[in-house]
Chain A
Amino acid sequence: MEQISKELRKTALRLSHICQDGNLQSVFSCLDIVWALYDKVMNWSPETAEDENRDFFIISKGQATLALFPVLIEKGMFTLDDMKNMGKFDSRFCIQTDVTKFRGGVENSAGSLGHGMPFGAGLAAGSKIQGLPSRVYVLAGDGEFCEGTMWESCIFASAKKLDNFCVVVDDNDSVGAMVDMGNMSAKLRAFGFDVFSADGHDLAALERTFAQAKEPDGRPKAVVAKTVRGYGSKTMMENDIWFHKAPNKEELAMLTKEVERF
């Protein structure tokens, strides 16, 4: 694992420890995707975070918001010190997001599943109507695709030819524990998407895949990124208690060490 992936995970652990909450398995699953987008793909920087031409990152799987904040810290939008009160009564930062507390950096209020994808499709349609070059990247979980609004968005994005819209499926087989969803890529293709696959923990592969997923062909894009829950920590990958658990001081030290050695 590249050093940046380790650093981001260590920050996520610290944030989870600070606010004593979090869904770290899910966070570790998608952190590399979020970093690849912000570092190599999106037209975005802290300086242009409110520019109308910027690209949008929409976190639809809100439980993984702790994957967004380390990336924004690394990019200079916030500092770890800004977040030392995370989760406290009057903090701007919590386990999910409240867009009204930010001017740039956070693009949507997340929390309930199945909202980010239609919101992102609307952003993409709005960008087209206004002739703006923005692309919209929505991070969704494979389990989230049980929500009907995800498929409603697929109909809309395809019918409206939103080739500036890209849904990234953090495919860590969460859905497998619930239902047999069948072939996600085939389903999205049937809905009219250009579908790409990638190893969701390989930064170079993600960069290459996202570069391909920009064809202005009138079809929305989907990148199905194969991931592993808790990737980067042996303990988290093996023990599902980390689906929803925050590290105490000793666990923080242990997990940090584990990430560093991964």
Chain B
Amino acid sequence: MRRAFLHRVDEMIKNEPDTVFFTVDIGMWAIRDVLRGYPDRCMNVGIYEDGMFGFAAGLARRGLVPTIFGIQPYLTERTLEQIKMDFAYQKLGVNVVGTGAAVDYPKYGYSHYCAEDVGAIKLIPGCEFAAPGTAKQFLQLFNQSYRNGKPTFFRVSDHPNRTLDPDVEFGKANVIKTGSKATVIAVSVLLDAVMEACADEDVTVLYYTTLEPFDRETLARNAGSGKILIAEPEYRGSLLYDIHEALPGRPLRIAQVAFPREIFRNYGTYDEKMRYYGLTARSIREKLTDLIG
């Protein structure tokens, strides 16, 4: 996914003179040509995310299309006030592409984990959040939104879905399958695990890669059972507000497969973490069995 993004950056800088790219000291090898060839618009700008967001807002105000690449917690938490003041409040656009969330740097400790990115960004009105499940989907979502004048955040993962790779549309959920006993919301890189668990079950599976704006209509049309299982690779509850808003006045039974809201003090591998916190096909199947009885 990262490689696809950086290739897109190379192409964008070469062909679209109103685009500007900042990296916070990562990914330079992949874009070394444009870093050398277009120093005014393609920059390894320095390790100062807060200020960088302000610079990018100024560029946007001058009609340019800025894109920023860095490590997710520093792009979404360190900079929270810049996102609010410089972009949301002033109605300016930026593309922020973050790597590392939620636990893609599994040996680095909590400083590099970022299960709260979705919740944090969704709290600031006017921001958008995309979490593609594959490289192809990243490009689809990026290309559909990168010039829309809004602060749009992209979570790129080093652990994409390997089996399923449907085309996606920014702001729309995919109906992967329909059934009657429950609705399973598969978010981003958890689609493979969800389908491994649910392929033979009589349930609806909806696939979400845009988390803000959340496609409430598709959920409202596909939640007849009132039983919802959310499988999301972020902190538990990051999407609950939207789910309740999508289904007002409906008695709901909701089960969740997600990271618990706690500070992760373990290391190891990505797979170890996913197993430990129960973000697996097995856990999804168990929760679904509990939910539909």
Interface residues of A (CB under 8 A from B): 98-100, 107-109, 111-112, 114-115, 117-130, 132, 148-149, 152-153, 155-156, 159
Kindly identify which residue among B45, B51, B81 contacts A112, using a CB–CB cutoff of 8 Å. B81
Number of interface residues of B (CB under 8 A): 28
One of B64, B81, B82, B90 near A129 (C-beta < 8 A): B64
Q: In the assembled complex, how far is the CB of residue B44 from the closest CB belonging to chain A, in whole angstroms?
A: 11
B: residues with CB less than 8 A from A are 20, 40-41, 45-46, 48, 50-64, 81-82, 85-86, 89-91
Determine how close the nearest CB of chain A comes to the CB of B73; give it in whole angstroms: 17
Contact A129 B41 (CB under 8 A): yes
Contacting pair A117 B62 (CB below 8 A):
no
> B48 contacts which chain A residues (CB < 8 A)?
148-149, 152, 155-156
Query: Is A109 within 8 A of B89, CB to CB?
Result: yes
Q: Would you mind naming 11 contact pairs between A and B with Cβ atoms under 8 Å apart? A: A100-B89, A112-B85, A121-B51, A121-B58, A122-B54, A122-B58, A126-B59, A129-B62, A132-B62, A152-B50, A156-B52
Distance between Cα atoms of A128 and B54 in the complex (Å): 17
Residues of chain B with a CB closer than 8 A to A98's CB? 89
Contacts of A127 in B (CB 8 A): 62
The listed residue (B40, B54, B62, B89) touching A118 by CB distance below 8 A is B54
User: CA of A159 to CA of B59 in the docked complex: distance in angstroms?
Assistant: 16
Chain B positions within 8 Å of A122 at CB level = 54-62
Complex Cα distance A159/B55, Å?
Answer: 13
Q: Is the CB of A152 within 8 A of B46?
A: yes
Q: Quick one: which of B20, B40, B46, B61 contacts A123, CB cutoff 8 A? A: B61
B54's partner among A126, A130, A149, A155 (CB-CB below 8 A) is A149
Please state if B85 and A155 are interface contacts (CB–CB under 8 Å).
no
Q: Is the CB of B56 within 8 A of A100?
A: no
B51 touches A111 (CB 8 A): no
With A115-B85, A119-B86 as contacts: A126 and B50 at CB distance below 8 Å: no
Tell me the minimal C-beta distance from B103 to chain A in angstroms: 28
Q: B58 — nearest CB in chain A belongs to which residue?
A: A122
Whether B46 and A155, one on each chain, are in contact in the complex, defined by CB atoms closer than 8 angstroms, is yes
Q: Which residues from chain A contact B85 at a C-beta distance below 8 Å?
A: 109, 111-112, 115
A-B contacts counted at CB < 8 A amount to: 102
User: 10 smallest A-B Cβ distances: which pairs?
Assistant: A122-B58, A118-B54, A152-B51, A126-B62, A122-B55, A152-B48, A123-B58, A126-B59, A118-B51, A149-B51
Q: How far is the CA of A245 from the CA of B46 in the complex (A)?
A: 41
Across the interface, which residues of B come within 8 angstroms of A99, CB to CB?
Answer: 90
Q: Given A130-B63, A152-B50, A155-B48, A125 and B86 touching (CB < 8 A)?
A: no
Bound CA span A121–B52, Å = 10
Contact A126 B46 (CB under 8 A): no
Closest Cβ of chain B to A106, distance in Å, is 11
Of chain B, the residue at the smallest CB distance from A62 is B85
Contact B55 A118 (CB under 8 A): yes
Q: A109-B90, A111-B85, A119-B86 are in contact. Are A129 and B50 (CB under 8 A)?
A: no
Contact A117–B54 (Cβ < 8 Å): yes
Instruction: Give the docked Cα–Cα distance between A120 and B56 (Å).
Output: 10
Candidates B46, B50, B55; contact of A125 at CB < 8 Å: B55
Provide the bound-state CA to CA distance between A115 and B82, in Å: 7
13 further contact pairs, Cβ within 8 A, besides A123-B59, A126-B64, A148-B48: A100-B89, A100-B90, A100-B91, A114-B50, A121-B54, A122-B61, A123-B62, A125-B55, A125-B59, A129-B41, A129-B59, A148-B50, A156-B45
In Å, the complex CA distance between A128 and B58 comes to 12
Given A126-B59, A126-B62, A126-B64, does the pair A119, B54 have CB atoms closer than 8 Å? Answer: yes
- Inside 8 A of A121's CB, which chain B residues have their CB? 51, 54-55, 58
Is the Cβ of B62 less than 8 Å from the Cβ of A130? yes
**How distant is the Cα of A121 from the Cα of B224 in the complex, in angstroms?**
53
How far, in whole Å, are A100 and B91 apart by their CA atoms in the complex?
7
**Contact between A108 and B55, CB atoms less than 8 A apart:** no
Q: CA separation between A120 and B58, bound complex, in Å?
A: 6
Residues of chain B contacted by A108 (CB below 8 angstroms): 61, 90
Interface centre among A108, A112, A118, A123 (most CB of B within 10 A): A118
Contact residues in B for A109 (Cβ distance below 8 Å):
85, 89-90
Q: Is the CB of A119 within 8 A of B46?
A: no
| Alpha-carbon distance A155/B57, docked complex (angstroms) | 17
User: Cα distance A121–B40 when bound, in Å?
Assistant: 14
B63–A126 CB distance below 8 A: yes
Contacts of A155 in B (CB 8 A): 46, 48, 51
> Quick one: closest B residue to A118, CB to CB?
B54
Given A112-B85, A129-B20, A130-B64, A118 and B58 contact (CB-CB distance below 8 Å): yes
Cβ–Cβ contact A153 & B54, under 8 A: yes
CA distance A119 to B52 in the complex (A): 9
List of B residues within 8 angstroms of A152 by Cβ:
46, 48, 50-52
Contacts of B81 in A (CB 8 A): 112, 115
Rounded to whole angstroms, the CA-CA distance of A124 and B89 in the bound complex is 21
Known: A126-B64, A130-B63. A119 touches B41 (CB 8 A): no
